[in-house]
Structure formats: C-alpha cells, structure tokens
C-alpha cells in the first residue's frame, strides 16, 4: 500500500494513498467539523458531495480553501485546519446556511440531535452577520410515516444518497436551481405518491430536522390513555428493547426489556405485551406456508418459490411498487405487528369482554413504515384499525422523558400474559437473519420430527455482507436460503429471481433496513456509527440465548391460542386472522 | 458523396474542388448565422435563386448560405465573389437589384455597401473596413466563406487533411507534442494548456475513453461557439477525431444546448456526411483508427458548461459539478477517461496541423498563443463576432474594430468573461488581452463575451445583473454559491434601491472573498468577480448610492423627477400621459410632480416637448 506523508497543523502524519485530509486529520485526533459528509462503508453508503463546505481547510500553495472531506492527500501537503482565515470563512459558510434556515430550534423535532446545531455551537455562532433576509419556502409534506420540512434542508444529500445508492428506491433527488434547490420527489409529488417505501433510512441520516418521523399519533394516544372508557394495550417489537436505553445514557447494545415494560406500565398502558409473541405466530404461519410450498415443489407441482418473508412493511411496499409481477412470492402471513393487532382485537377483546372500538392497540416499533402498515385498509374491520397507533422507539423515549421517569432507576418488570410470552426465536426477529433462523428452527423440527440441538444457524448469522446465502440440510431435504437486508440487496435478490433464480433459492428473508429492524427509521439516531447497529444486534442474540424456550412452536401460549381459538396454522380461522393480500402500486 | 478510403483520394477531391472554385464564375455568399437568419436571410437566398433562375443564370452563379460573417450589426450580410463585394443590411426585396445590377450589369448596388462612419464613403471590399482590418481569422477561418452543410466545401479548404496527417503520419504522442508545442490553451475560459490536457487523458489506461466537445455556451451575450458550429461544423468533427486519435478514444460526444436548433441541425448534417464519406466511423481513411460522434442535448443550464456538471448531465443525472480530483481525464463520462474541450479550442486544432505549431505559436503573446474570438455586445457601434490575435489591446478591439461607443457616449467599462469575469476600465484599455493579463486585472478571458458599457451604465446595477444571473444559474449544490450568491444579490439590490449602508459595502467585500475561497466549482468561485471588480474600480459609485445618489441616473429608486417651472409651459401633456396621475397643475401654469405618487416611469420626461422635466 502506497503511503503519503503530510503535515496537518504542524503535525506529521502518514496515511494510505487515496485518503482524504479528513481521514488524515482523524488519525491525528484533529476533529474537523463536517455536515454533509457521511461514510458508512458497512452498508455501502458514501455521501461525499463536498457541498456544505463546513470542513474547509487551508492547503499551502492552493489558491482557495479545500474541503477536507473530499480532498485527497498528496505527498508533502501542508494543511492548516484552524487558521483565523479558515475559522472566519467556515463561520461565514455556517452563517450563510443558518441565514436560510428556520430558527425554530426550540420546537424542532431534531432539537438536541441536530448536527447543524452542534456544529454551530462548536463554532461559537452567536450572530448571523449575513444580512440577507429571504428564506426559501417549500410546502410541508406530511405522510403517515415521514414528515418533510424542506425549509430545513441544507442540501447535504445524505437522504438522496441512502435512498438511491443503498436502498435503490430512488424516491429522492435534487430539484430546482440556486437558492430554490432542494431534495424532492419526482415532479415534487407528495412522498405518499412517490415510490418511497417509508423505510426511514433518510430520517436516520438527515443531519437536521428536514426529514423526521410523523409523531402525530402520540397526541391521540395521550388522549386515549386519559380516557377511562378505553382499554389501552401496548406491544413492543424486539428491536426496541435493544436501542431504547441509548436515549437514557446506556451504552449501545444494552437490552432494557424489563425497564421498558416498567415504564410502559407507569405511563398507563393497561396491558403490556410483547410483539415477540406475534413473531412466534408469524413463524407458525410462515413455516407452515414454507412446508406446504416445499411439498408441492417436491411433488413437482407448480408453486411460487422462493417464499419471501413479509414481516417488513417497507419491503412489502418495495415489492408492490418495484416488482408487482412477483407478488405471489411473499408469504401471505401478516407481519407480527398486524398479527398482534388482529389477535388483540379479536381473541383478547373477546376475552376481556370489550368491543374492539373500546380497545386501543398500540405498537412500539423500531420502524416508521409500520405507521403506514397500521393504516393499510386490509388491516381494519369496519374502519376500526387492528393497530390504532404505531409509535417509534424514538417517540417512546420522548414519552418516557415527558413523564419524567428515570429509566435507569425503574425496577424491571415483566410482560403480561397471555400475549407477553415469547421465545428466543421471536426476539431475533429484530435483526437481519433472525426471521429466517426462527423459521428454520421450527421447520427443521416439523419436517424431520427430530429435536434441533444447535439452534444457531451460523451461515446466515455472519454480519459480513448485506446478502448471505446458505444450503440448509433438513433431513433429506436441502433448502437453499438467502437473507438480505437493505433494499438495495433486496433488489439484487429480485433481479436474481428475475434472471431465473440460478441459485434455486427456496426461502428468502428480506429486511428493508441495513442490519435489520435494529437499524429502523424509528430507532434512536445512530449518527453514522454502524457499530451501534452491530451492538444492538448482539443484544438481541444475547437475549435469545437467555430465553428458556428458543423455538416459536414451543411457545406455550401460542400453542394454546391455536388449540383454543384458531385451530391449525395456515387454515380456517388462523388463515382468516393472520394472512393478508398484496396489490401492485403505481408510483412515481 | 462517395466514400473516401485513402489520403490520396481526399487530396484529389480537395484539388478538384479548388479547381472547380477557380473556374466558378460568381458566388453569392449569404450569411446563414442565427442573427442574419432571424432577419430573413433565408428569404434572401430564395429570392436570389429565383431571380437568377428568372434570368437563366442559375448555372453561372452559385448562391451559398454560409455561417456568420461576424459583422452582425450590419446584417444580413451578402458577399459576392470573386470581387469581394460586401453588402450590408440586405433585405429579401434587394435580391432583384443585386442580380440585375451587380450580376448582369456589373454595377455595384451603392446603397447596400458599407458606409464608413469616419470618411462617410462607401467601402466595397470588407478587407478595407476597420471592423475587419485588425482581425485575424483562425478559428473562424471558414465561417462566412463555406457552405457549412456541404462537406466538399470544407474539403476544398484542406478539410480533414489534418486528420489524415495525424492518423497516417504521426503517432498519438507526436500529435499531443504538436498541440503542446503550439501553446494552444483552452478557449472555454480558464486557459488550461490543451496538449497537457490531452496528455493526461492519454495517460490513463482504459478500453473506452471519450472525447467531449463542450458546446454549452451560456454566457449572456456570447455566441462564439454557436457561430463556429453553425459556420464550420466540420472543423469540430475533424478536431474531435484528431483528439480521439491522440488520447486513444473511439467515441466523441458533443454537449450542445437544445435551444440552438440551427447549430444542432448543421452539426448533425456534418456528422452524417462525414460518416457517409468514411471520415467518421470504422477504419478512417483505411487506417486502424475508428471514431464516431454523437450529440447530447443540454437543457440550457449555465453550470453545465463546467466539465463535471456537463458530464453528469450527459449521463442523465442532475447537472451539477463534483469536486476535482478526480479530473475527467481520469474518471469522466461513465467513469471513463474523458477529455473535454470547448468548441473554439477544437476549431483551432486542424489549423495547427495544416500550418504547423510554429506558425500557430507565432501569433499571440508569450503565454497566450493564437487568436481569440470575442462576441462584442453592449454599447458598442459594431456589435458582432470578431477574432483577434492574443495581445490585441482592449482599445483596438473597442475603438478600432468595434467602432467605438454608441451615440458618441463615453466609454466606462467592458466586462470580459461574462458573469465569471470582471470589468475593465479606461486604465486597462491599453492592456494586451491575454489569459494572464485579464486574471491579473481581476477579470478573466472567459469564453469570449465582451460587453461594453458607457457612462449611462450604473456599476452597482451591472454587478447586480450578473449576480442575479449566477444566483439563478447556480445549481444549488454548495452552500457558498446557493446561499452566498443570493445574499450578494440581496445586498446589491438594497444598494441600488437606496437602502444600502457602508456596512453593505463592507459585507459585499467580505462575503465575496468567502465565496471565492469556499465555493465548490468555477461558477461559484468566480461569481463574486463582477462585484469585486466593480468595487475595485468604482467604489465611489457604490458610496454615492449609499448616500442616496445614482451617478449614472439608472437606479429609479434613487431618482426624483422634477418639473422646471421656468421651462414648463403648462401644456398638460405630461399630466395627461402620467399613468398614475402624479402630476398636477392647470393649463398654462407650471405643473408639479407629486413625489409620493410618482413611480418614476419617465413617461413625462419622454413626452415633454420643452425639456422641462429633469431627473436628479
């Protein structure tokens, strides 16, 4: 490897050829402020437009200032990152940005998490000397999942890059020129009419409050919590417990399940359940469907393969808009959130003896596409939705803070019965590969009649890339499985299938967010640090190991629910309550 | 035309065409540039042809529609060969007289000849006109001389022989060496040495490389490249092929504004006929060299003249620049090594090989070789397209070639380099124009727009005009350009509207420097130039505005209209014409203007027959 020697602020440093000044400065522990720059090589995200110009530095013999983030180092280069000229011009660039930025920081959804705020604070901006007054204005675009307040956009293009490069959705692009330039949809249609899948990866990377999640459900939830006639039930997705603690000072990767349950109970939820319970049901249904499709396949009957998972609402949106000709591939099983809602508003409402309208079912999700999913027409009965409110991890953290609970000092509590019991299989749903592994644990035992001793499927656990493939031996049968996270990887799998499925895949798990639900759009902001996501994944694996029961079909309450209420998985009442349909969508 | 497969065949056709021209009786050349076409020159061609047919002369006299002659001020131009008669401001109905008088009776149509403003005498031969005397046409050598839609005309001018020489007798390295030796520098504005640029592109190994011609001419008032492509498209086709041979590319692209239909049509025709003749395509002139050209259309964004933005636009992406390095020579069109040159740069290339690098480098100054084409516009008598050796002074360009300032007004400044350049003033008139001297003066060569301003032009307003242009044409990618140009233009707006303070002026300077230092691409980095250069030369004018006065009398917000009671006869004409009823007074008594109502439209001043209305 060729090495380059340069000097930054009087300190000599040697870095690999091709490194940027920013990389070299980092090596010296010199932190040059940045805004647009975002490099997450783990997920193939490299946003390097060099457009914000906050990271400008002086390079000797260069006529103008250089953006540290995009200027490659050169032998003998002499860089100054903090001369009065650099500081003055960097401040002016920031002031220019701020001169076209709303000053509603007190009430901004990104307050405290805003990179622009942080950089401005670091640079000691106390006054905006730039005397111009015009402020670019764009209409607020409120979709059920994402709110676009483009008046706050600083044109860093991170959202565009993650949407196009990583997710390959292509909902966002720069439009207009000059002062009016902004990131928008094609023909500037509302997000709801665009190909956006609501995966929320743009929300995760937006440095300011331009892209945030729609939090309007929280207000309505508060009213319902205060209503004595309403029974309010909550269920929490697996990925939530692995990230919520970050908002309260826990290191990333701390599982705070018990404390979260305690907080929810104190907030006033009448029943605190676990989405993992529904995840176990999902496995019952999907494994049944997989077994049935495989049996047909073995008999040589026509059958849609590979079976694709359908837990992820952004993935469902993706296939409905991008690959509508393949809608027979995803399992017809509802997602855990919707299975939970369906069971809560039927079985549980009956059990409590209340009307479904009286029962308010809330889900806490790492995901903001879940907000969209909750209001899909298929998931309501007489206009009463199965899930009344889908709240993100981030929103739950906000609620706990408002209620002034000190999460760290809450005594751990347990989920309620009967919909709170879950297995290790349900827990790992929150990370990439988890659904496939859970399904294999069950499918193996069903198909072979033998007990699976080692429940970890290491081949699909590797975290090295976005797509993992493995041939899994189940008795005499070899099942080819694939696991993909990130919609860009989902696209690669779909293109393979389009090309005739050369690897003869039988089952595929897709999660729209790179790394799985732990990296969902509703999770605490990762601020570009993918190690946070890895730690959250590890937390879920740890919780799986701790569980006494680690196979979905062994969940005693799930078994009882089928025996007492629904009958056989995949048929009759179970099919009626737990399955759905998909429809092609035309979007721009 | 038949396919040309050998160099000998090409030369044979050239000689045959030259012979034919010698025997040709009379040629009538009619300017078919965009300017003259919009003054109905196509109709002149048609009328001339039908008049000739009516007289049975159609086989004896040829009517050729050419590219631009340059003297747009006096267009449409008709030139008759072999006697070099230069008719100006010809109308379609003049065709009959030209045919009957000039062609049939050998009597020149006096009234259509150019009238020299100095001597008040008619000049028949353009050689003797001041407008042409100091010009040297290299890039424009064929414009206004050949039929751009006829490849034979180009071949007659030794067209494609430079290409033939390069691909049969020189190695790519020798071609690059020759271009380097010629001293040719990029005519798009920055003046980067062309040979060096080619050498960089050659240095990167790739199975596929591209030659791109930047025809996205976007400076307000500039039409050099358009005229070249309209008047001599084959020179660009030939030069691109030479460049392709030199750098190792087999594909060329011309990025051209979709809003220039004539330019596109002529280039398409040229490419098509070059293909038919085998001068583009596989195995050109029987060699192993293959090259072809396609046209990409731009939607008319100024920023797409920046080479990385241009490449992104060609790829179907948003036309916005990316940071360099990597330079296009390393990673350009579709990530392949790409050489981007401007139209005028290419236009110079074939001549270098026909006449030699030494000949080329004998023209111009020490560091700027050859000639430069300028589009003269603004308050100048001879608006048009000119080409002068590098090193010609601004005085020669404006006063000799340009014929001085319109209406006898006083010269104030000239803007070179368009919105990226700066203004040159009285004290710069004797500076030899070349790349480096203009940069030293706070301006730049730019692509060749030259806009002349007179004493009536208000410099803060001029700066505001350019800033409003860059503000609108900024792609919006980087902060300093997206927001900075807006803020500069707001400051200038305040100043020209009488709301400026001394702090405004200080802020203009501070912000301009920041934008220069921090903007991503050339557009942003040079956007403050009009502000800084007008401030350097005319700061007093800015201060006057701050003090509530526009010395040029242009800024309406700073003006007040008054009626001189001594001169006013009370005719009521002004009051009757005032659109806002801001003038009161009775018949035969002096009128007065209600300042709070007045919108400063100037109608009263135009209407007053007694010069009683003054603006201050």
CATH number of the CATH domain containing B39: 3.40.30.10
Residue B325 pLDDT exceeds 80: yes
Q: If pLDDT is split at 50, 70 and 90, which confidence band does B34 have? A: confident
For residues B523-538, average pLDDT: 94
CATH of the structural domain A283-335+423-578, one choice from 3.40.950.10, 3.40.30.10, 3.30.429.10, 3.30.2400.10: 3.40.950.10
Quick: pLDDT tens for A407-446.
999 999 999 988 878 899 999 999 999 999 999 999 999 9
| Active-site residue flag, A311 | yes
Q: What percent of chain A has pLDDT over 70?
A: 99
pLDDT of residue B24: 66
For residues B131-156, average pLDDT: 92
- Indicate if B28 and B124 belong to the same structural domain: yes
Which has the closest alpha carbon to B369: B382, B356, B379, B380?
B356
pLDDT of residue B82: 84
Q: Is A186 on the interface with B (CB under 8 A)?
A: no
Nearest to B487 among A96, A176, A180 (CB): A96
Residue B413 pLDDT exceeds 70: yes
Chain B residue closest in CA terms to A20:
B325
B454, B479, B498 - which closes a domain: B454
Q: With respect to residue B146, please indicate whether it lies within any of the assigned structural domains.
A: no
Residue B514 pLDDT exceeds 90: yes
| Active-site residue flag, A331 | yes
At the topology level, CATH places domain A230-276+338-409 in Rossmann fold (3.40.50)
Task: Give the total number of structural domains in chain B.
Answer: 5
Quick: pLDDT tens for A261-302.
999 999 999 999 999 999 999 999 999 999 999 999 999 999
Chain B residue closest in CA terms to A74:
B325
Chain A residue closest in CA terms to B318:
A174
CA–CA distance, A258 with A411 (Å, rounded to integer): 8
- Indicate if B216 and B282 belong to the same structural domain: yes
Tokens 């290790």 sit on residue: A424
Q: Is A178 on the interface with B (CB under 8 A)?
A: yes
For residues A57-86, average pLDDT: 96
Distance (Å) from the alpha carbon of A506 to chain B's nearest alpha carbon: 37
Distance (Å) from the alpha carbon of B514 to chain A's nearest alpha carbon: 6
Element (H, E) at B295: strand B292-298
Name the packing angle between helices B224-231 and B343-355 (round to 10°).
Answer: 50
pLDDT of residue A462: 67
A74 backbone dihedrals φ, ψ, rounded to 5°: -135, 155
Distance (Å) from the alpha carbon of A102 to chain B's nearest alpha carbon: 14
Q: If pLDDT is split at 50, 70 and 90, which confidence band does B206 have? A: very high
Q: With respect to residue B120, please indicate whether it lies within any of the assigned structural domains.
A: yes
- Indicate if B45 and B88 belong to the same structural domain: yes
Residue B106 pLDDT exceeds 90: no
Quick: pLDDT tens for A529-556.
999 999 999 999 999 999 999 999 999 9
Query: For testing the chain A interface, which of B482, B500, B503 should be mutated: the one with the most A CBs within 10 Å?
Result: B482
What residues of chain A, 271 to 330, have a C-beta less than 8 Å from chain B?
none
Residues 6+ apart with CB under 8 A from A82: A9
User: In the numeric block, which tokens belong to residue A213?
Assistant: 């999640």
What residues of chain A, 83 to 102, have a C-beta less than 8 Å from chain B?
85, 88-89, 92-93, 96-97, 99-100
Indicate yes or no: CB of A51 within 8 angstroms of CB of B487.
Answer: no
Distance (Å) from the alpha carbon of A97 to chain B's nearest alpha carbon: 6
Quick: pLDDT tens for B353-411.
999 999 999 999 999 999 999 999 999 999 999 999 999 999 999 999 999 999 999 99
CA–CA distance, B44 with B31 (Å, rounded to integer): 10
Q: If pLDDT is split at 50, 70 and 90, which confidence band does B487 have? A: very high
What residues of chain A, 371 to 400, have a C-beta less than 8 Å from chain B?
none
Q: Could you tell me which CATH class the domain A3-122 is placed in?
A: alpha beta
Indicate yes or no: CB of B476 within 8 angstroms of CB of A93.
Answer: no
CA–CA distance, B187 with B215 (Å, rounded to integer): 11
Residues 6+ apart with CB under 8 A from A256: A241, A244, A245, A248, A250, A407
Q: Answer whether B539's CB lies under 8 Å from B512's CB.
A: no
CA–CA distance, B491 with A134 (Å, rounded to integer): 11
Indicate yes or no: CB of B477 within 8 angstroms of CB of A53.
Answer: no
Q: Is A130 on the interface with B (CB under 8 A)?
A: yes
Residue A79 pLDDT exceeds 70: yes
pLDDT of residue A463: 64
Half-sphere exposure of B291 (CA within 13 A, CB side): 31
CA–CA distance, B239 with B168 (Å, rounded to integer): 15
Element (H, E) at B344: helix B343-355
Indicate yes or no: CB of B520 within 8 angstroms of CB of A50.
Answer: yes
CA–CA distance, A391 with A218 (Å, rounded to integer): 7
For residues A36-52, average pLDDT: 94
B400, B420, B454 - which closes a domain: B454
Q: With respect to residue B10, please indicate whether it lies within any of the assigned structural domains.
A: no
A88, A121, A378, A576: the active-site residue: A378
Note the Cα B348 to chain centre separation in Å: 16
Residues 6+ apart with CB under 8 A from B15: none
Tokens 């696209």 sit on residue: A491
Nearest to B477 among A64, A89, A155 (CB): A155
CA–CA distance, B461 with B467 (Å, rounded to integer): 10
Tokens 């199975």 sit on residue: B207
Q: What is the dihedral of CA B68, B70, B74, B80, to 10 degrees?
A: -60
Domain A141-213 CATH assignment equals 1.10.4080.10: no
- Indicate if B69 and B102 belong to the same structural domain: yes
pLDDT of residue A447: 87
For residues A78-106, average pLDDT: 96
- Indicate if B328 and B253 belong to the same structural domain: yes
CA–CA distance, A138 with A155 (Å, rounded to integer): 14
Q: With respect to residue B388, please indicate whether it lies within any of the assigned structural domains.
A: yes
Q: What percent of chain A has pLDDT over 90?
A: 91
Quick: pLDDT tens for A492-525.
999 999 999 999 999 999 999 999 999 999 999 9
CA–CA distance, B61 with B103 (Å, rounded to integer): 8
Cis ω on the peptide bond leading into residue B326 (within 30° of 0)?
yes
Residues listed for chain B: 616
pLDDT of residue A464: 57
Tokens 């004409």 sit on residue: B573
Quick: pLDDT tens for B420-475.
889 999 999 999 999 999 888 888 888 888 999 999 999 999 999 999 999 999 99
Residue A211 pLDDT exceeds 80: yes
A36, A55, A311, A312: the active-site residue: A311
Mean pLDDT for chain B overall = 93
| Active-site residue flag, A378 | yes
CATH number, position B323:
3.40.50.11540
| Active-site residue flag, A118 | no
Q: With respect to residue B12, please indicate whether it lies within any of the assigned structural domains.
A: no
DSSP reduced 3-state for A179: helix
- Beta carbons within 10 angstroms of residue A384's beta carbon: 13
For residues B559-583, average pLDDT: 92
pLDDT of residue A418: 84
Q: Are strands A307-308 and A56-59 parallel, antiparallel or unpaired?
A: unpaired
The reported pTM is 0.91
For residues B274-294, average pLDDT: 96
For residue B102, what are the domain limits?
Answer: 19-128
Q: Is A173 on the interface with B (CB under 8 A)?
A: yes
Indicate yes or no: CB of B479 within 8 angstroms of CB of A177.
Answer: no
Nearest to B482 among A67, A130, A178 (CB): A178
CATH number, position B426:
3.10.20.600
For residues A175-188, average pLDDT: 94
pLDDT of residue A546: 92
| Active-site residue flag, A69 | no
pLDDT of residue B169: 95
CA–CA distance, B193 with B348 (Å, rounded to integer): 13
Q: If pLDDT is split at 50, 70 and 90, which confidence band does A465 have? A: low
Indicate yes or no: CB of B478 within 8 angstroms of CB of A52.
Answer: yes
Residues 6+ apart with CB under 8 A from B150: none
Residues 6+ apart with CB under 8 A from A165: A44, A45, A46, A488
Residue B25 pLDDT exceeds 90: no
pLDDT of residue A101: 95
pLDDT of residue B58: 84
| Active-site residue flag, A367 | no
DSSP lists the bridge partners of residue A56 as: A67
CA distances A223 to A360, A386, A490, B514, Å, are 11, 18, 39, 52
- Indicate if B115 and B163 belong to the same structural domain: no
Residue B42 pLDDT exceeds 90: yes
Mean pLDDT for chain A overall = 94
Q: With respect to residue B2, please indicate whether it lies within any of the assigned structural domains.
A: no
Provide residues of B within 8 Å CB-CB of chain A: 301, 303, 318, 320, 322-323, 325, 471-480, 482-487, 490-491, 503-504, 507, 510-511, 513-514, 516-520, 525
DSSP reduced 3-state for A524: coil
DSSP reduced 3-state for B106: coil
Nearest to A89 among B483, B490, B518 (CB): B518
Residue B529 pLDDT exceeds 80: yes
pLDDT of residue B83: 86
Residue B580 is given by DSSP the state: T
Residue B411 is given by DSSP the state: E
A259, A370, A371, A431: the active-site residue: A370
- Indicate if B292 and B190 belong to the same structural domain: yes
Q: With respect to residue B24, please indicate whether it lies within any of the assigned structural domains.
A: yes
pLDDT of residue B190: 83
CA–CA distance, B363 with B355 (Å, rounded to integer): 12
Inter-chain contacts counted by CB atoms under 8 A, chains A and B: 118
DSSP reduced 3-state for B454: strand
User: In the numeric block, which tokens belong to residue A46?
Assistant: 């490299």
pLDDT of residue B19: 87
- Indicate if B471 and B422 belong to the same structural domain: no
- Indicate if B160 and B259 belong to the same structural domain: yes
Q: If pLDDT is split at 50, 70 and 90, which confidence band does A461 have? A: confident
DSSP reduced 3-state for B58: coil
Q: Is A188 on the interface with B (CB under 8 A)?
A: no
Q: Are strands B210-215 and B251-257 parallel, antiparallel or unpaired?
A: parallel
Q: Answer whether A148's CB lies under 8 Å from A191's CB.
A: yes
CA distances B400 to A578, B37, B117, B118, B135, Å, are 89, 27, 12, 11, 10
**Chain B neighbors of A66, CB-CB under 8 A:** none
A331, A335, A346, A392: the active-site residue: A331
CATH number, position B518:
1.20.1440.230
CATH number, position B591:
3.30.70.20
B309, B333, B361 - which closes a domain: B361
Q: Answer whether B561's CB lies under 8 Å from B591's CB.
A: no
Tell me the domain boundaries of chain A: 3-122, 141-213, 230-276+338-409, 283-335+423-578
Query: For testing the chain B interface, which of A123, A130, A176, A182 should be mutated: the one with the most B CBs within 10 Å?
Result: A130
pLDDT of residue B1: 79
């Amino acid at each position: 490897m060729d090495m380059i020697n340069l000097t930054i602020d009087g300190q000599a440093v040697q870095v690999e050829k091709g490194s940027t000044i920013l990389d070299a400065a980092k090596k010296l522990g010199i932190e040059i402020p940045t805004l647009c720059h975002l490099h997450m090589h783990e997920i193939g995200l490299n946003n390097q437009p060099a457009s914000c110009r906050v990271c400008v530095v002086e390079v000797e013999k260069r006529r103008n200032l250089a953006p540290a983030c995009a200027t490659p180092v050169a032998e003998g280069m002499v860089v100054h990152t903090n001369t009065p000229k650099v500081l003055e011009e960097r401040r002016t660039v920031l002031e220019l940005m701020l001169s076209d930025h709303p000053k509603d920081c007190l009430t901004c959804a990104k307050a405290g998490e805003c990179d622009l705020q942080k950089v401005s604070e670091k640079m000691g901006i106390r006054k905006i000397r730039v005397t111009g007054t015009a402020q670019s204005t764009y209409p607020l675009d409120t979709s059920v999942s994402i709110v676009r307040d483009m008046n706050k956009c600083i044109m860093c293009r991170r959202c565009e890059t993650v949407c196009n490069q990583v997710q390959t959705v292509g909902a966002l692009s720069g439009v207009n020129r000059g002062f009016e330039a902004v990131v928008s949809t094609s023909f500037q249609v509302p997000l709801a009419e665009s190909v956006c899948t609501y995966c929320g990866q743009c929300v995760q990377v937006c440095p300011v409050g331009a892209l945030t999640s729609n939090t309007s459900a929280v207000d309505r939830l508060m009213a319902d919590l205060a209503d004595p006639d309403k029974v309010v039930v909550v269920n929490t997705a697996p990925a939530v417990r692995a990230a919520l603690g970050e908002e309260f000072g826990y290191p990333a990767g701390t599982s705070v399940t018990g404390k979260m349950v305690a907080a929810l109970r104190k907030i006033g939820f009448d029943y605190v359940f676990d989405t993992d319970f529904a995840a176990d049901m999902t496995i019952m249904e999907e494994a049944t469907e997989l077994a049935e499709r495989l049996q047909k396949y073995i008999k040589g009957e026509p059958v849609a393969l590979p079976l694709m998972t359908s837990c992820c609402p952004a993935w469902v949106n993706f296939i409905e808009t991008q690959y509508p000709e393949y809608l027979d591939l995803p399992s017809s099983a509802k997602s855990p959130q919707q299975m939970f809602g369906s069971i809560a508003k039927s079985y549980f409402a009956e059990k409590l003896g209340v009307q479904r309208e009286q029962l308010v079912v809330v889900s806490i999700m790492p995901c903001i596409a879940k907000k969209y999913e909750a209001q899909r027409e298929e998931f309501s009965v007489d206009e009463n939705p199965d899930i009344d409110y889908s709240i993100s991890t981030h929103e739950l953290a906000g609620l706990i803070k408002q209620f002034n609970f000190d999460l760290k000092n809450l005594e751990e509590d347990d989920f309620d019965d009967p919909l709170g019991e879950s297995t290790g299989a349900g827990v790992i749903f929150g990370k990439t590969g988890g659904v496939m592994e859970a399904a294999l644990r069950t499918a193996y035992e069903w198909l072979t009649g033998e007990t699976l001793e080692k429940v970890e499927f290491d081949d699909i656990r590797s975290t090295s890339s976005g797509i993992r493939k493995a041939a899994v031996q189940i008795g005499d049968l070899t099942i080819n499985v694939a696991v993909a996270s990130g919609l860009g990887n989902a696209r690669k799998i779909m293109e393979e299938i389009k090309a005739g499925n050369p690897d003869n895949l039988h089952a595929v798990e897709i999660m729209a967010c790179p790394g799985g639900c732990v990296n969902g759009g509703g999770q605490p902001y990762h601020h570009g640090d993918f190690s946070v996501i890895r730690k959250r994944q590890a937390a879920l694996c740890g919780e799986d190991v701790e569980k006494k029961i680690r196979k979905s079909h062994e969940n005693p309450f799930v078994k009882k629910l089928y025996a007492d209420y629904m009958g056989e998985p995949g048929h009759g009442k179970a099919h009626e309550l737990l399955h759905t349909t998909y429809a092609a969508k035309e979007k721009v | 035309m038949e396919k040309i497969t050998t160099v000998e065949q090409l030369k044979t056709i050239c000689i045959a065409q030259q012979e034919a021209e010698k025997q040709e009786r009379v040629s009538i050349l009619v300017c078919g540039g965009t300017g003259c076409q919009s003054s109905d020159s196509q109709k002149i061609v048609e009328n001339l042809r039908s008049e000739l047919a009516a007289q049975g002369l159609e086989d004896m006299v040829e009517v050729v529609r050419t590219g631009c002659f340059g003297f747009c001020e006096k267009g449409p131009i008709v030139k008759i060969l072999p006697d070099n008669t230069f008719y100006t401001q010809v109308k379609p109905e003049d065709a009959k007289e030209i045919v009957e008088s000039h062609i049939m009776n050998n009597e020149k149509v006096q009234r259509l000849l150019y009238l020299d403003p100095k001597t008040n005498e008619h000049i028949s031969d353009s050689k003797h006109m001041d407008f042409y005397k100091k010009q040297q046409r290299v890039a424009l050598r064929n414009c206004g001389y050949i039929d751009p839609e006829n490849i034979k005309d180009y071949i007659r001018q030794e067209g494609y022989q430079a290409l033939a020489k390069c691909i049969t007798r020189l190695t790519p390295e020798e071609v690059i060496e020759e271009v380097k030796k010629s001293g040719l520098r990029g005519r798009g504005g920055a003046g980067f040495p062309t040979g060096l640029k080619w050498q960089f592109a050659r240095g990167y190994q790739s199975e596929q490389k591209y030659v791109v011609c930047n025809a996205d001419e976007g400076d307000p008032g500039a039409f050099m490249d358009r005229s070249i492509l309209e008047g001599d498209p084959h020179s660009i086709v030939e030069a691109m092929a030479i460049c392709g041979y030199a750098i190792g590319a087999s594909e060329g692209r011309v990025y051209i504004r979709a809003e220039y239909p004539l330019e596109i049509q002529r280039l398409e025709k040229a490419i098509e006929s070059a293909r038919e003749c085998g001068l583009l395509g596989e195995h050109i002139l029987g060699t192993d060299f293959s090259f072809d050209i396609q046209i990409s259309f731009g939607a008319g964004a100024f920023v797409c003249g920046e080479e990385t933005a241009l490449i992104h636009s060609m790829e179907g992406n948003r036309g916005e620049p990316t940071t360099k390095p990597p330079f296009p020579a390393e990673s350009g069109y579709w990530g392949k090594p790409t050489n981007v040159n401007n139209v005028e740069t290419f236009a110079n290339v074939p001549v270098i090989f026909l006449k030699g690098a030494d000949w080329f480098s004998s023209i111009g100054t020490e560091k700027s070789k050859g000639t430069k084409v300028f589009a003269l516009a603004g308050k100048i008598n001879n608006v048009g397209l000119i080409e002068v050796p590098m090193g010609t002074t601004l005085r020669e360009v404006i006063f000799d070639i340009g014929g001085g300032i319109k209406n006898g007004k006083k010269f104030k400044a000239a803007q070179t380099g368009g919105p990226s350049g700066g203004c040159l003033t009285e004290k710069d008139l004797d500076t030899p124009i070349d790349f480096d001297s203009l940069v030293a003066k706070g301006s730049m060569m730019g692509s060749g727009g030259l806009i002349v301003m007179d004493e009536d032009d208000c410099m803060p307003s001029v700066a505001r005009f350019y800033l409003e242009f860059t503000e609108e044409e900024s792609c919006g990618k980087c902060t300093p350009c997206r927001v900075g140009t807006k803020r500069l233009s707001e400051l200038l707006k305040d100043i020209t509207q009488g709301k400026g303070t001394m702090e405004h002026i200080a802020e203009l300077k501070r912000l301009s420097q920041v934008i220069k230092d921090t903007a991503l691409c050339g557009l942003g980095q040079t956007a403050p130039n009009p502000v800084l250069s007008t401030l350097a030369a005319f700061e007093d004018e800015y201060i006057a505005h701050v003090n509530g006065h526009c010395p040029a009398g242009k800024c309406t917000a700073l003006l007040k209209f008054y009626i001189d009671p001594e001169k006013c006869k009370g005719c009521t004409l002004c009051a009757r014409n005032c659109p806002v009823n801001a003038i009161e007074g009775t018949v035969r008594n002096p009128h007065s203007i209600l300042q709070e109502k007045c919108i400063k439209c100037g109608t009263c001043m135009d209407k007053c027959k007694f010069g009683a209305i003054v603006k201050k």
